Homo-oligomer: A and B are copies of this chain.
Amino acid sequence: MAQNIYDDAKFFEGYSQFPRSRDGLAAAAEWPSLRSMLPDLTGKRVLDLGCGFGYFAQWAVENGAAEVVGLDLSENMLAVARQNCAGMPVRFERADLETADFGSGEYDLVFSSLAVHYVADFDSFCARVRRALRPGGHFVFSMEHPVFAARANPEFMTDAEGYMVGAVNDYLREGKRLTNWIADGVVKYHRLISTTINALQDVGLQLDHVDEWSATDADIADHPEWEKERYQPMFLLFATSVTSSLPNRT
């Protein structure tokens, strides 16, 4: 079973203070890019893996989705999500993304924001996502960028010429990382971009677009604290779709 750090009281309190926790999608730097990679949701069935506070489920319904199912391991988050989407055609369920059955041929869109780096077995995860999708369906997701996630505790250093550089190590060593982020000992998994892409291809999810998010001048004018995001990539976004030329492996 995956670590349920979001139900750790101290972690949850810290996480709840983040701008994106308080203010939703509008406070997430990468959201405009991710949104631009989504298909039209009118009348569609949507599965949100790692749904957190339910902000995406809410947005999906407001943008035409017929029904949204949100899965998360954290009871804390599900309780808030249910409040945020009260009265909407949204169902939230507790599930471990590591092992849960996502159903078969039920969804037009599977969405996941910053959750797959908590999943140890990405091959199994992709196979279950693929199985959950209808023909022509889409899987759109974001993850921590591997250049950022490779180092358990990312940091910046100053080189011999006084230039700020990102410290990257063990990029090529995949696997578990214990990171101190809000609380100590948060478990996440580092995977190469190539491993991620090949796993998607292997289950018949074709890559439509990739984005290594970076802060624009306008972003940095609004958020001076994002200056470092000019140098090191923090988010990696993928849009994929079920390849019609491959057999439906449900």
Interface residues in chain A, defined as those with a beta carbon under 8 Å from any beta carbon in chain B? 147, 151, 155, 157, 159, 163-173, 192-194, 197-198, 201, 206-212, 214, 229-233, 236, 244-245
Alpha-carbon distance A209/B201, docked complex (angstroms): 8
Task: Please state if B166 and A167 are interface contacts (CB–CB under 8 Å).
Answer: yes
Give chain B nearest CB distance to A231 CB in angstroms.
5
Alpha-carbon distance A247/B159, docked complex (angstroms): 49
Alpha-carbon distance A96/B151, docked complex (angstroms): 40
User: What does DSSP make chain A's interface, helix, strand, loop or mixed?
Assistant: mixed
Task: Please state if A201 and B212 are interface contacts (CB–CB under 8 Å).
Answer: no
Take A208-B201, A212-B192, A212-B193 as given contacts and tell me if A168 and B166 are in contact as well, using a CB distance cutoff of 8 Å: yes
Task: Please state if B198 and A209 are interface contacts (CB–CB under 8 Å).
Answer: yes
Task: Please state if A173 and B230 are interface contacts (CB–CB under 8 Å).
Answer: yes
Closest to A209 in B: B198
Task: Please state if B229 and A212 are interface contacts (CB–CB under 8 Å).
Answer: no
Q: Which of A151, A166, A173, A244 is the most central at the interface, judged by chain B CB atoms within 10 Å of its CB?
A: A166
Task: Please state if B212 and A172 are interface contacts (CB–CB under 8 Å).
Answer: yes
